[in-house]
Amino acid sequence: MHATPPTPKIGSVSPHFAARPDLPDAPFSARPLTRSEQRRGDLYTFRSPKLDRPVEVIHRARLAMALELEFDPDVTVWVERPRLLAVNDTEIELCFWRRSVSGREGFHLFVDAATTTQDGTRRVRHHRQARDIIQAANDAGLSLEFVFEAALLERKSELTSWFRLLPYVQTAATLPHLAALERLVEDAFLAQARMSFLQLEQNLGSHAAADVRAVACRFIHLGALQLDLSRPLTRLSVLSKEVAR
């Protein structure tokens, strides 16, 4: 028999609900999806640890782009569906806007294989309307970057790793003893610069392994720890504290 659902611990309120600092200021706000878009499209939604708000995107490729922005430590803030761009009597919706640590801002547009043509001699992919869109973006003073389907597929293993790390990063933000655990993990990496997840968990054996792993994932998300992304993620994957950049 299934256990009868216990009455929730109503007395305790998780820090998830506690007061939080305001969102980093972004010049755009995401266009909310309409009810029909939510119901008709291939909808993906998750809580973004970086933005501290729920994100909704249509299409798997945009989920991949969102995860890339989410896990790029160089990106400080990003917004999905920031604005429309008028191109030759029609309007196309730009997929993402992002701002880097350096202050550089830019837009991303997903280009699926059906809207690209390939140059026969140089094997370079182009958007069918590339010239018009670039012209329109220049006219509007926007820095626009095309993200091609083929390029996303090349980064498959990286994307899978981000996808698998995401729930841990989300969990880390809800931990009541996050600050203490963060200090412990930092100390552990001061003593030994390269450790696998398993080693780290054994080092901090007095804490729940899942919590320790969540904090390690949070450090990867913040860019404080590095992970070899070319290999599939396992509990034996090696984390390193290297000053690469």
Partner 1 sequence: MKKLSLENITDADIRTWPNPDPKTLPEGRRDAYVARRSALMAVVGGMTIRAAAKAYCVSRSTLSSCVEKALLPGPDGHPLGFRACIPYRHRQPKPEVAGLVEPPAAKGPGAFSRLVAATEGLAATIDGYSGPLPTGKRKCRRFDRFFRTVLNAVREAHGKAGYPFDVPDHGRRALREYVKRTRLQRKEAARPEVDQDAPLSSNLRGLFQDGPLDRIEYDAHTVDVELQLSIDTPDGSPVLRPIQQITLLVAICAVTRYVLGYVLRFGAYNQLDVLRLFHRVLQPWLPRELIVPNMQYGPGAVIGVQALTGHQAARGLLLAGDNAFAHLAHAVVGNLRSHHRGVLNYGKAHIAEARGIIEAFFRRLEEGALREIAGAFQPGSMVEEGRTKTNYLRPEDHPIHAEAFFDLIDVIVAGHNITPHSGLQLRTPAERLRTHIHGGGWIFEAADTDADAARLTTVRIHPTVRGNQKTGKLPYIEWGHAKYRSPKLEGAWSRVGKRHAAEVNLEDVRTMVLLDTDGSGPWSKLHALPPWDASPHDLLLRKSIMSARSRGLLEIEGSSDAVAAYHEMVRTKAWRDGAGVDQLAQLNRTRGSTTPSAKTPRLQPVAFAPREGRFSFGAGRKEK
> What binding mask, one character per residue, do residues 49-88 give for partner 1 by CB under 8 A, x or -?
-----x---xxxx-xx------------------------
DSSP 160-229: HHHHHHHHHHHHHTT-TTHHHHHHHHHHHHHH-SEEEHHHHHHHTTTS-HHHHHHHHHHHHHHTSSEE-T
In this structure, how many other beta carbons lie within 10 angstroms of the beta carbon of residue 133?
20
Residue 180 in tokens: 């203490």
Report, in Å, the least distance between residue 105 CB and partner 1: 26
Q: Which of residues 15-34 bind partner 1 (CB under 8 A)?
A: 16-19
Establish if 132 lies at the interface with partner 1 (CB under 8 A): no
Establish if 191 lies at the interface with partner 1 (CB under 8 A): no
Report, in Å, the least distance between residue 186 CB and partner 1: 20
Report, in Å, the least distance between residue 243 CB and partner 1: 26
Please answer whether residues 198 and 188 qualify as being in contact, where contact means their C-beta atoms are separated by less than 8 angstroms: no
Instruction: Classify each residue of 217-234 as buried b or exposed e, where b means 16 or more C-beta atoms within 10 Å of its C-beta.
Output: bbbbbeebbbbebeeebe
Establish if 225 lies at the interface with partner 1 (CB under 8 A): no
Per CB under 8 A, residues contacting partner 1 are 1-3, 5-14, 16-19, 38-47, 54, 58-61, 63-64, 89, 112-114, 128, 149, 152-153, 156-157, 159-160, 163-164, 166-168, 170-171, 198, 208-211, 213-214, 232-236
